Amino acid sequence: HSCSCSRITPTPLGEGKSTLVGLVQALTAHKRCNSIACLRQPSQGPTFGIKGGAAGGGYSQVIPMEDFNLHLTGDIHAVTAANNLLAAQLDARIFHEATQTDQALYERLVPAVKGSRKFAPIQLRRLKRLGIEKTDPYALTPDEIRRFARLNIDPHNVVWTRVLDVNDRYLRKITIGLSPTEKNLTRDTSFAISVSSEIMAILALATGLEDMKQRLAKMVVAFDKTGAPVTADDLGVTGSMMVLLKDAIEPTLMQTLEGTPVLVHAGPFANIAHGCSSIVADDIGMKLAGKRGYVVTEAGFGSDIGMEKFFNIKCRASGKVPNAVVLVTTVRALKMHGGGPIVTAGAPLRREYMSENLDLLEKGVPNLLKHIENGLKYGVPVVVAINAHGTDTAAEHELVRKAAKAAGAFEALVSNHWAKGGEGAAELAQAVIDACNRPSEFKLLYEVDMSIEDKIIRIAKEMYGAGTIELNSKVRDAIRLYTEKGFGKLPICMAKTSMSLTGDPSVKGAPKDFKLVINDICLSAGAGFIVPMCGEISKMPGLPTRPSIFDIDLNTETGEIEGLF
């Protein structure tokens, strides 16, 4: 069986990952089922920012948390290396094309080795795409030589960016090529955080080595001066990226505090990519757990973001469907959605969150109900897990339970995994087992045959509750171009704040009929989706005045890490 784990709209108060960990602990140790958790690897950037670790908490954690939150086995570094090799080759190619004649370029691209010229296999693939069915480098006409050797990249239409796994705000927008050696071929570009790289999304979506290779090859990195897409394969980088990623495609086996296996793999950004753990890890997990076992896989953030993309992108790619959805909520987070005061890191928590307040809670419940409604639209049972805090009251828990059940949740229960580990999530585990035994009536939200715009509208109305969708003219032009170039039938990967059902992170609760503005759009042809942007989505976080950097240290006597939470 498999089960995906999402949550309500996140707040600074929420904990999602610990529930997933607690659940597999309960399934394994208390329900005697083979079970495996599949988690994303967290970015190292936020570890040194304000976020702290992402290994869960209390008695429901992945260990060792230091490795989990740092390099681990280097997969993110491999993604960074592959991404930036492609970027370096892209700019180097623009430079070499700008400074050489067609013939000189061709003779260098297909060099005489011991007197004889030969195309590399990746060059033969490019010839094929150009419709040139020749394999002898001496047989090309001057026109064919020009078409083969000149990618003719439009420097103003390069869409590939460099990445680093660090919160470095000064790299959000940069000018490159300012050294005299680059002969004034400067260009504006940016660095994003590594986990936002399309390569990370591919790592999570690839079903195997060959599929990964096909996807990497297809990545559109720029458009040429005629508007035609230029791919990673055109730049000759597919094989080198594969070599850099050959170990990254293997998930890393870790464990929970109670010894339940955890497969950690890939970590696509949930707000701009699809935010799920990998297909490869889920496949391995399902094989290892067996038919009667359970795999619980992460579908990051709320149902509007994590779950929607989990179904419409990941399940569509893998062909596999979960038996149940777990939806995590907390009383505190619902109070915040009900209008509770803003929470500031470091400041003492306000009274509203520390004592019973049924009015505020009731006002916040609609956010939970919208997420339940969203889950049910896929025909899969939704189990609501109320992640308990010490200051919650029984009446508060009961209010949430009743509302969830009335809205169609298969079950809604309090889970005490933070305080008690697997034992605290035993009832939740039983509910998940029961839900997984129910026959599924799974359906996707949209067919890929629909137009790009219709797919966006479907998601925005059905999942977010939007009334109208506004696309600016730049977005409309891009949609026209993508459709014309054959990318119209890709699924949609919305880039929207995870902090609200709307495009505005400050709007809590479950608003209805709001306007959603799509102000930018981009293409991830290799990952296989179109990314509409709702509002400003930063792909590069920054460091605050006092990042957690100040607290982190290595004890040189013991070799132990200190101050990393």
Please list every residue from 18 through 77 that binds a second copy, using CB under 8 A.
44, 48, 66, 70-71, 73-74, 77
Q: Do residues 68 and 54 lie in contact, with contact meaning Cβ atoms separated by under 8 Å?
A: yes
| Nearest distance, CB of residue 167 and a second copy, angstroms | 6
| CA pseudo-torsion sign 472, 534, 310, 270 | positive
Q: Pairing between strand 35-39 and 252-256?
A: unpaired
Stretch touching a second copy by CB under 8 A, among 27-35, 95-103, 305-313, 379-387:
95-103
Binding residue for a second copy, selected from 13, 63, 85, 354, defined by CB under 8 A: 85
For residues 240 and 260, which CB has a smaller minimum distance to a second copy in the complex? Answer: 240
For residues 168 and 362, which CB has a smaller minimum distance to a second copy in the complex? Answer: 168
| Footprint on residues 183-212 left by a second copy (CB under 8 A) | 187-188, 190, 208-210
- As a whole number of angstroms, the longest Cα–Cα distance in the chain is 85
DSSP structure string for 148-181: HH---EEEEEE---EEESS--GGGSSEEE--SGG
Please tell me the distance from the alpha carbon of residue 386 to that of residue 413, in angstroms, as a whole number.
6
Stretch touching a second copy by CB under 8 A, among 253-261, 399-407, 463-471, 557-565:
557-565
* Coil, strand or helix at 506: coil
Stretch touching a second copy by CB under 8 A, among 21-29, 172-180, 273-281, 452-460:
172-180
| Footprint on residues 259-288 left by a second copy (CB under 8 A) | none
Stretch touching a second copy by CB under 8 A, among 91-99, 309-317, 373-381, 525-533:
91-99
Per-residue interface string for the shown chain with a second copy, residues 216-255, x marking contact by CB under 8 A:
--------------------xxxxx-xxx-xx--------
* Coil, strand or helix at 296: strand
| Nearest distance, CB of residue 17 and a second copy, angstroms | 21
- Does 174 bind a second copy (CB under 8 A)? Our answer is yes
* Coil, strand or helix at 46: helix
Amino acid occupying residue 117: R
- Does 454 bind a second copy (CB under 8 A)? Our answer is no
- Does 552 bind a second copy (CB under 8 A)? Our answer is yes
- Does 146 bind a second copy (CB under 8 A)? Our answer is no
Please tell me the distance from the alpha carbon of residue 293 to that of residue 252, in angstroms, as a whole number.
20
Stretch touching a second copy by CB under 8 A, among 12-20, 34-42, 85-93, 421-429:
85-93
| Footprint on residues 312-351 left by a second copy (CB under 8 A) | 346-348
**Count of beta carbons in the 10 Å neighbourhood of residue 265:** 28
| Nearest distance, CB of residue 237 and a second copy, angstroms | 6
Per-residue interface string for the shown chain with a second copy, residues 511-550, x marking contact by CB under 8 A:
---------------------------x---xxxxxx-xx
Please tell me the distance from the alpha carbon of residue 297 to that of residue 320, in angstroms, as a whole number.
12
Burial of 437 (0-12, 13-18, 19+ CB in 10 A): exposed
- Does 168 bind a second copy (CB under 8 A)? Our answer is yes
Residue among 368, 380, 235 at smallest CA distance from 321: 380
Which residues have a Cβ under 8 Å from the Cβ of 90 and sit 6 or more positions away? 153, 158, 160, 221, 222, 235
| Nearest distance, CB of residue 270 and a second copy, angstroms | 21
Question: String of b and e for 440-460 (b: at least 16 CB within 10 Å)?
Answer: eeeeebbebeeebbebbbbbb
**Count of beta carbons in the 10 Å neighbourhood of residue 112:** 10
Binding residue for a second copy, selected from 172, 397, 476, 485, defined by CB under 8 A: 172
| Nearest distance, CB of residue 299 and a second copy, angstroms | 28
- Does 461 bind a second copy (CB under 8 A)? Our answer is no
- Does 446 bind a second copy (CB under 8 A)? Our answer is no
